[in-house]
Amino acid sequence: MRHSIALARRSLTKTLRQPEQLLDVTLQPLIFVLLFVYLLGGAVSGSTDAYLQFLLPAIMVQQVMFAGMATGVNMNSDIGKGVFDRFRSLPIARSAPLIGSVLGDFIRYVVAIASLLGFGAILGFGFAGGLLPTLAACLLTVVFAFSVSWLFVWVGMLVREPGTVQGIGFMVLFPFTFGTNMITPSNTLPGWLHTWVDINPIAHVMDMARALMLGTGAVTGPVVWTLATSAGFLAVFAPLAVRAYRRRT
């Protein structure tokens, strides 16, 4: 862990020295909120204010998922530049560079959530659930994104180019993030899509965020789903990523 934390500081320093890397987690969520709220708000919820309350927690989950994809892209780029060859020559655990890179990208999650919630407050998001439940929703969302990021790390270890990681990431994330109740309530969807939403883990994370941030709906079930799926992603993809890293380096 000491080696991983040292390498996490390296990743954090690299991000702070190249702040343009954070544009996707600062501007992109704001654009999504503006487009969806003012294009669909009246049709879906009857008013833009009501739709903002429905949409913002789900957009937070979606954007943190996209932020996690960048971990695999950056790691693939570092391997291509030979950075990990230097790590391999150091007396450190083989998994430390991977864990350090994943931990260092926590800054992306924090920036994505902070910028989105700040913008939402300006537009009129109410945080009806209260401060502590909102913080709990943010923390659980970050935990889930951290676990899913190991999937993208694994992909980053398998393919050769950063662009390929990004392309695969979008193919995975789009059906999982848009195939949810993010834009419209589940009861408005056709039967086959409703079934997909019921088994989609990201939809349950969005339900968790809404329940905590808005103070409405069941909380226990979505929270349990979020923790269980987080543990599942971590248990499956973290060992696969480390194994793929060892083979590649």
Place of tokens 């862990």: 1
Report the alpha-carbon distance of residue 249 to residue 58 in Å, rounded. Answer: 38
Tens of pLDDT along 127-173?
Answer: 999 999 999 999 999 999 999 999 999 998 898 888 898 899 889 89
Domains held by the chain: number: 1
Contacts of 38 (CB under 8 A, 6+ apart): 48
Kindly give the interhelix angle for 201-214 and 191-199, rounded to the nearest 10 degrees: 80
Tens of pLDDT along 103-125?
Answer: 887 888 888 899 999 999 999 99
How many other C-beta atoms are found inside a 10 Å radius of the C-beta of residue 208? 28
Contact predicate 154/244, CB 8 Å:
yes
Average pLDDT, the chain: 88
SS3 195: helix
SS3 136: helix
Range of the domain at 77: 2-248
Contact predicate 63/25, CB 8 Å:
yes
Any idea how long the chain is? 249
